Amino acid sequence: MDASSSRRHLLEPRAGVEVARCGFAVGRTAPSGFGLSCRDAVDWLATLRAQSVDLLVTDPAYESLEKHRAVGTTTRLKHSKASSNDWFQIFPNARFPELFREAYRVLARNAHLYLFCDQETMFVAKPAAEASGFRFWKPLVWDKQTIGMGYHYRSRYELVLFFEKGKRRLLDRGIPDVIAVPRIRGGYPAEKPAAVADVLIRQSSEPGELVVDAFAGSGSTGVAAARLGRDFLGNDICAEAVAIAERRLLEAGARPDPSLQTAACSRHETGGPVGGCPR
């Protein structure tokens, strides 16, 4: 089977998805499907077929977080029981080249990648993504609307780097590059509001398409995808995160669909289809 024939999300109408004459899905009547895995992000992406993913929205645990923790300028990773160093593993900057190589390979010919990013890591991530073939458009700003902890200028925003593979039109070219959504308080460490992912998913995918997050955490990207009628494949190295994401996806009305993982995978996972942790 070649890469394009495996992309049933783009080529074949799925059960429950209405398809207009032009071939685009215009809505869906069936619940969105999802699959979750528990592995290293790069290893997991390597199991997916080339060009099998319609949109990547992801939020790695940056190396720079370690620095902030070391000097005590952030406490948000320390206050929950689930947020010790052991629990919240960091993704080293040195691994960005392999991450972007896999991201570029799995994305459809014309597709977008959104990477949540901080003001330090963007200088590492941008050239690494460009070296893999992505076109960098701009950083979007997530305006959290209230200041957080810290010093100097108190932090009120995070960045989302917007990359393109090939050429894909945004749905609405009247959307501003500042997305104002209140921060999440007391949630999963570094949890992003589903409302931010909502904007990105609407802009860069169609109902019935496949959205992927390789650092899914509590599953916010998946929740937004499910609410918008997209299918979702998520992954996180932490089994506890995967369990939280599974609960949130079920609450959002999505249904486990092992066929998604199988369709997107070039090798079979050794773990279970939902929340399975092969390690």
Strand 178-180 versus strand 135-143 pairing type: parallel
Contact letters for ligand SAM, residues 147-176 (x by CB under 6 A): ------------------------------
In the block, tokens 């279970």 appear at 272
Residue nearest ligand SAM, CB atom distance: 217
Closest to ligand SAM by CB, 61 vs 129, is: 61
Tell me if 25 contacts ligand SAM by CB under 6 A.
no
| Residue 192 within binding range of ligand SAM, rule CB under 6 A | yes
Q: What is the nearest approach in angstroms of ligand SAM to the Cβ of residue 28?
A: 24
199 is a contact residue toward ligand SAM (CB under 6 A): no
Q: Does 61 bind ligand SAM (CB under 6 A)?
A: yes
Q: Of the ranges 19-27, 146-154, 163-171, 234-242, which one interacts with ligand SAM (CB under 6 A)?
A: 234-242
C-beta atoms surrounding 60 within 10 Å: 23
Among 220, 263, 269, 277, the residue binding ligand SAM under the rule CB under 6 A is: 220
Q: Which of residues 72-111 bind ligand SAM (CB under 6 A)?
A: 88-89, 91
Q: Measuring CA to CA, which residue among 191, 197, 199, 205 is closest to residue 241?
A: 191
Half-sphere exposure of 239 (CA within 13 A, CB side): 6
For residue 261, what are the contacts with CB-CB under 8 A and spacing of at least 6?
A: 35, 37, 233, 269, 273
**Closest CB to ligand SAM among residues 17, 99:** 99
What DSSP line would sit under 165-178, residue for residue? ES----S-TT--SE
**Cα 256 to Cα 226: distance, rounded to the nearest angstrom:** 11
Residues whose CB falls within 8 Å of the CB of residue 213, separated by 6 or more in sequence, listed in order: 56, 57, 58, 59, 219, 221, 222, 232, 233, 234, 235
One of 54, 102, 158, 191 touching ligand SAM (CB under 6 A): 191
Kindly state whether residue 34 participates in binding ligand SAM, applying the rule CB under 6 A: no
Per CB under 6 A, 218 contacts ligand SAM: yes
Alpha-carbon distance 225 to 232, whole Å?
6
| Chain positions contacting ligand SAM, by CB under 6 A | 40-41, 59-61, 88-89, 91, 188, 190-192, 215, 217-218, 220, 236-238, 241
